[in-house]
Amino acid sequence: MRRFLTIIAYLVGTYALIFIHLCILFLLPAPWSSLNVAMLAASLHITGWADHHRMLMLTVTVFAFALDSFGGTVFGLLVIGLPLTVFVMTRLYYRIFTNRSWYTAGMMAAAGVFVFRTIYLLLLFSFSLIGVTDPPQYQTLIDAFFSEMLITAVITAILGVIFSLFSSRFKNDNRVYWQT
């Protein structure tokens, strides 16, 4: 029963994130509308609840499928890119960023946006080669991606500071993973 309630909570959270993402996308002005809610939520989730990464992968896949189904992009860009990015982010957390702190959350969000947009550009380029889409304007996309990376990393770090003040899950736990 507890697992069922956890799955329901993750699905409700997923659709709440979709709602928040769409509100940010359409209601905020130009530089702030580029906030990547998926990377923000994924990096805070990995930092706070590192032991639930399987549920995070399921949640991100459902999130990507829902956004890709109703979005204006070619189907497959988000379904392929977001789960791969979250997988890379969890590996980065376990291998490189091994503490729970606000700067870890910010760096993971920046790395996640960078990996996601690299996969996005590669998929967009491959789709344009086979004729599914028109070739994109790469310079404007790269400028938008770097502003997205900066805004997402800063807001994630700020939320990490706020969460660490009110929750013990986000405090630096000083774990030692190897012996010298």
Residue 176 lies in a domain: no
Q: What is the pLDDT of residues 26-67, one digit of tens each?
A: 888 877 777 888 888 887 777 776 566 777 788 888 888 888
Residue 123 lies in a domain: yes
Instruction: Give the pLDDT band (50/70/90) at residue 23.
Output: confident
Residue 101 lies in a domain: yes
Residue 74 lies in a domain: yes
Distance, CA of 143 to CA of 61 (rounded, Å): 27
Q: Are 21 and 37 in contact, with CB atoms under 8 Å apart?
A: yes
> What is the domain range of residue 130?
2-170
Distance, CA of 51 to CA of 6 (rounded, Å): 14
Residue 177 lies in a domain: no
Residue 175 lies in a domain: no
Residue 178 lies in a domain: no
Q: What is the pLDDT of residues 81-112, one digit of tens each?
A: 888 998 888 888 888 877 777 888 888 899 99
Domain count, the chain: 1
Task: Read off the pLDDT of each residue in 3-8 and give the average, rounded to a whole number.
Answer: 82
Residue 18 lies in a domain: yes
Our CA angle for 120, 125, 128, nearest 5°, is 125
Q: Which residues contact 25 (CB under 8 A, 6 or more apart)?
A: 33
Total-model pTM: 0.81
